[in-house]
Amino acid sequence: MMERIILHVDVNNAFLSWTAVDMLHKGNKVDIRNRYAVIGGDEATRHGIVLAKSMPAKKCGVVTAETIFSARRKCPYLDVYPPQFKVYKKYSDRMYTYLCNYSNKIERYSIDECFIDYTDSYKKYGNPVKLAYKIKNDIRDNFGFTVNVGVGNNKLLAKMASDFSKPDKVHTLFSNEIKNKMWPR
């Protein structure tokens, strides 16, 4: 019997990346991923919170779920962009449609995460790790945002694998790797 293979695809810093990609598509010259930028709500009331932050903002000490007010104290040049769920849905749908090429068993776990049951796709598409790299690179090159792909024998292992180190990476956590890969952590 063929072993079960699951791929977990997780968009890196989804809200900020998707907003950045959308702005670039609309002709914006600046990639907000490289600026002091956050996605967050309702700054006027000062109750808005940080939903996502760029790497430069992170280096300033900005953390997810803190208030915009507090984030701006750490990072005075911070640019705040509102969440745009229609935009996120658009990029999420594109990714999902692309992933449907490789399996008809795909679970949309959240707006930026999918589980692909690869077990029946093995014969057609071959080595799942090779395919994981192809998926990662295709999404980056065609859609302009990056993902992590985790490969494992069930959803939990695949999801843990995709979380190992980011961004734009493939990791495996097969049942027989748990001891070696998890113990050092």
Q: How far is the CB of 167 from Mg ion (least distance, A)?
A: 10
Q: How far is the CB of 64 from Mg ion (least distance, A)?
A: 12
d(CA 94, CA 143): 8
Of 7, 11, 62, 75, the one binding Mg ion by CB under 5 A? 11
d(CA 149, CA 99): 12
Q: State the binding string over 63-102 for Mg ion (x if CB under 5 A, else -).
A: ----------------------------------------
Q: What is the β-pairing status of strands 170-173 and 79-81?
A: unpaired
Q: Is 10 in the site for Mg ion (CB under 5 A)?
A: yes
Q: Is 53 in the site for Mg ion (CB under 5 A)?
A: no
**Which of 122/164 has CB closer to Mg ion?**
164
Give the H/E segment covering residue 98: helix 85-99
Our answer to whether residue 107 is catalytic in this structure is no
Query: One-letter amino acid identity for 100?
Result: C
Sheet (strand 113-117) strand order = 106-110, 113-117, 6-11, 147-152, 170-173
Q: How far is the CB of 74 from Mg ion (least distance, A)?
A: 23
Active-site pick, 3, 66, 113, 177? 113
CA atoms within 13 A on the CB side of 107: 10
Of the candidate spans 40-48, 49-57, 83-91, 111-119, the one that interacts with Mg ion by CB under 5 A turns out to be 111-119
d(CA 131, CA 38): 33
The catalytic site residues sit at 113
Would you tell me which residues interact with Mg ion (CB under 5 A)?
10-11, 14, 112
